[in-house]
Amino acid sequence: MHANLFNHTFTYLVTVLKKDKLKIIFWLLGISFFVVAVGHAYPALFPDQAELIGLAEAMRNPMMVAMFGPVYDPENYTIAQALGNQMLIFSMMFSAIMSIFIVSKMTRGDEEEGILELIQSLPVGRLTQTGVTVILIVFMNIILALLIGFGLALIPEDSITVVGSLTYGFSIGATGILMGAITLILAQLFENNRTVMGMSFLVLGVMYLLRGMGDLSENILVWLMPLNWPARVEVYINNYNELNVLTLGVSFVLFAVGCYLNLRRDLEAGMFAQKPGKTAASKVLKTPTGFVLRLLKAGLIAWIVTLFILGLTYGSIFGDLDTFIEGSDIFEQMLPGGEYPLNVQFMSVIMMVVALTAGIGPIMFLNRLATEEKKNHTEHLYARALSRTRLLSIFTVTALISNALLLFIGSLGLIMGVQVSMDEPIGSLQILQAGFAYLPALWFMIGLGVLLIGFLPQKTSIIWIYFVYAFFAVYLGNVINLPAFFSYLTPYGFIDQLPIDAFRILPTVIILTLTAIMVALGYVGYIKRDLKG
Amino acid sequence: MAVIKVDHVSKCYGKVQALKDVNLSVNEGDIYGFIGPNGAGKTTLIRVLLGILKADQGQAHMFEKDVWLDAVDIHKKMAYVPGDVKLWPNLTGGEVIDLLINMRQKTNGDKKLALIKKFDLDTSKKCRSYSKGNRQKVALIAALASNADVFILDEPTSGLDPLMEKVFQEEIMQLKKAGKTVFLSSHILSEIDTLCDHVSIIRDGEIIESGPLEALRHLTRTTVRLSTKETITDLDQLKGVHDYSVESGMHVFQIESKAMDALIKHLSRYSITRFESNPPTLEDLFMRHYQGV
């Protein structure tokens, strides 16, 4: 009955490799270069053993454990252990993100654009597209694992063993394959590319947060989250590669489930039946602003929930932080002796993560305007009595306001978590101030986004490259003490970490002025240029 | 009064010249046909008229306002249906129709319901599940329900079934009666033939023919098939006769419209047993110009 399910898989695979070669190379080299380059910087970062022991102690505080996983062998902490401890989970996120993008695009993305229909009309099997997707994602992750494994093995440092480095790479590859399989299943359940990507990132985020909770209290959550298996291989110590094999095993079961679901459903249909919708637009939808909000509704809700959970999770760690600090001599020695307690200092670091995360959604909301143009949707609007200034303003203002809203929600989650978990909670006002101090930097990114929409509408993704750079420059700058220069290339580097730093008016004014200039230029560009449709 | 006026408009995409010195004038109340092969520049010109693309040279005006500078004002009195209708997959057809109607200032609720019924559209479905024809219906209903004065339609019937095409033609005739102006780009020549008063033909970004449909017909040749009792030998010698041949005793040739009088005078000396003449169709016009003969 299902004869030739995989007919012409090889031919199609070759076509895809040719078509997407640049994209594939960009992902593989981009990720492996970054991971390997950071690895090569490690030996110079911690020249003596005392510093490493101090670092191990710092990494054992609950917040760090929730973010990076446990420290397995603090007495014999080596450079290799520090690398595995601080970088493995984050590097795993790269391969996970790569897999989500590639699988979602090749399944629902191609289906949505009608490409799959064209391919299915050729004498190819019903599972050819799915099969090629699976082969490609497995192949890409294997290459990534090898590039990273051998790249790290070259580091001239005794504790960084070849087996450990290969395990490191293997963990990253296994994570990518796992997320590819999860995305494949989600692509069968939901009908459009955007939803599939959103749900995949949600699953990844929830798994990451829950595994953090698991690592913190060493409970069942540690092993319940498959994402944690590649992370708990105890890289450069015990190299439990069995866990990676287990991850791969589960991934292949998930791939099979994905293929089965794919066969069960019709082209362009989801697993959930469609209900008839409204035959008329609501009052809100009839206004341009209401219409834009409707377009962004799902994303806005998702980001509000994400920020709240993120804030709450981090906030709930603070209770353990207090007891941990009291019991640790080394930690108390590490206190800078300033007027603020250590948990307030950690709050300001946490706030940086919350603020950076709060900046992602609004950039997506703004860039939706460029996507709408690419999809020939804006021509309907501009053929009517709607000016370019007006529509661009609606998107820009929505992005700016949602920055403030998401910062508030993230801070609110943090406040609630802190209130519940701490005996003497950090002041709510302090937390809000720390959060809103980041608003100018988030707005700067929106300004850059408007500038790109005005002049380089085809290249709006440049902002993501800059954002990822900013994230690592600022965030890793804090963790591994990168020179401040790197973070001064981003607006975040100039933000005062309240209440540790005093608030300075000048950087805020400069950032906001630059933002205003970029927005103004972006408007001029957008109003004067040709639109695609 | 010219409602749409295009003066020496040129537009380049990099090195490709999409429009070369295009001139056009559409009078109030005209149903204006705009035909040309794929990639000839039809949609580019329409997008210039909409103020989505900026002309490199020349000017285009609607209602005597500049299409680029006064786009919003112009669009209050203009309705548009794109050639390739792309809609928001998450909204229902009904929602999109309302949304699009409300973005113009004048609306007409009863007309909307009547049109939905006439075009037989299920407005409760999400746009994602609509076929090309149904997406086109959404855009057509949103445009026709408005009280616009000018309608710009870019191949509006390419996805409609013959029944719906008829409904569309009826609607256009209604617009004509109401004195509205329609700028219709199309490939369906019978449609242009039935509906339009004026036609422009565009090829490789240039307008190569323009004028009232009747006048354009005169530019082409009539095909004549005839037989006579006496033998005629000198038909191919007549001025304006082309492609002369003899097929099973019938003289078959094409003749230019202006040579028709001379032919009839010439033939009157012979007794004619059969005479068939096929008037020039738009197809002939089309083929002749498209192939650049």
Question: CA A440 to CA A445: how far, in whole Å?
Answer: 9
pLDDT 10s digits, B109-148: 788 999 999 999 999 998 988 999 999 999 999 999 988 9
Across B210-226, b (16+ Cβ under 10 Å) vs e yields: beebeebbeebbbbbeb
Predicted pLDDT at B116: 95
* A530 chain-B contacts, CB cut-off 8 A: 52-54
Give residues with Cβ within 8 angstroms of A203, minimum separation 6. Answer: A182, A186
Of B98, B103, B126, the CB nearest to A385: B103
Q: Is A278 on the interface with B (CB under 8 A)?
A: yes
* ipTM at complex level: 0.79
Q: Nearest CB to B100: which of A277, A384, A529? A: A384
Percent helix / strand / coil, chain B, rounded to 5: 35, 30, 30
Give the residue among B106, B207, B94, B192 at the shortest CA–CA distance from B149: B106
What is the per-residue pLDDT for B106?
Answer: 56
Beta carbons of B86 and A191 less than 8 Å apart: no
Could you tell me the two tokens for B180? 């509205």
CA B49 – CA B56 distance, rounded (Å):
13
**Is B86 in contact with A375 (Cβ distance < 8 A)?**
yes
CB contact under 8 A, A277 and B84: no
Size of interface A-B (CB pairs under 8 A): 108
B210: enclosing H helix or E strand: strand B206-212
Q: Which pLDDT score, from 0 to 100, does residue A55 have?
A: 79
Say if CB A522 and CB A447 are below 8 A apart: yes
Give the number of residues written for chain A.
Answer: 533
* Closest Cα in chain A to B13: A530
Q: Do A278 and B89 touch (CB under 8 A)?
A: no
Full strand arrangement of the beta sheet holding B272-278:
B241-247, B250-256, B221-228, B272-278
Residues of A in contact with B100 (CB under 8 A): 380, 384
**Both tokens assigned to B245:** 């041949």
Q: Do A279 and B123 touch (CB under 8 A)?
A: yes
- Rounded CA gap, A233 and A243, in Å? 6
More confident position, A391 or B288: A391
| pLDDT number for residue B62 | 95
Q: What is the spatial distance between Cα A418 and Cα A399, in angstroms, rounded to a whole number?
A: 28
Say how far apart CA A300 and CA A373 lie, in whole Å.
20
Contact B124 A278 (CB under 8 A): yes
Q: Give the residue among A181, A23, A174 at the shortest CA–CA distance from A107.
A: A181
Sheet with B31-35, side-by-side order of all strands: B78-81, B150-154, B181-185, B31-35, B198-203, B206-212
The predicted pLDDT at position A345 comes to 75
Q: Are B282 and B233 in contact (CB under 8 A)?
A: no
Judged by CB atoms closer than 8 Å, whether chains meet at A385 and B88 is answered as no
Strands (E) across A6-153 are located at none
Closest residue by Cα to residue A225 from A197, A250, A255, A245 = A250
Mutation site for B-interface testing, chosen from A117, A192, A279, A378 by largest number of B Cβ within 10 Å: A279
SS3 of residue A449 by DSSP:
helix
pLDDT tens for the 533 residues of chain A, in order: 456 788 888 889 999 999 999 999 999 999 999 899 889 888 887 777 877 887 788 788 777 788 889 999 888 899 999 999 989 998 999 999 999 999 999 998 888 888 888 888 888 888 899 999 999 999 999 999 999 999 999 999 999 999 999 999 999 999 999 999 999 999 999 887 888 888 899 899 889 988 988 898 888 888 999 999 999 999 999 999 999 999 999 999 999 999 999 988 877 677 665 667 888 888 888 889 999 999 999 889 989 998 998 898 788 777 766 655 555 554 554 444 456 777 787 787 789 889 999 999 999 999 999 999 998 999 999 998 899 999 999 999 999 999 999 999 999 999 998 888 888 888 899 999 999 999 999 999 999 999 999 999 999 989 988 998 898 888 777 666 677 788 889 999 898 888 878 889 999 999 999 999 999 999 999 999 999 87
Q: How far is A114 from chain B (nearest CA, A)?
A: 11
Confidence of residue B234 (pLDDT cuts 50, 70, 90): confident
Which carries the bigger pLDDT value, residue B254 or residue A404? A404
In angstroms, the CA B153 to CA B103 distance is 18
Strand bridging mode B198-203 / B181-185 = unpaired
Q: Which residues of B touch A279 (CB under 8 A)?
A: 92, 94, 123-124
Question: pTM, whole model, 2 decimals?
Answer: 0.78
Asked if residue B34 lies in contact with residue B189, where contact means CB atoms within 8 angstroms, the answer is no
What pLDDT is attached to residue A451? 97
Contacts of B79 in chain A (CB under 8 A): 383
Strands B181-185 and B31-35: parallel
**CB B91 to CB A294 under 8 A?**
yes
Residue range B12-66, pLDDT digits in tens:
988 889 999 999 999 999 999 998 888 889 999 999 999 999 999 999 999 999 9
Tokens of A137: 């994602």
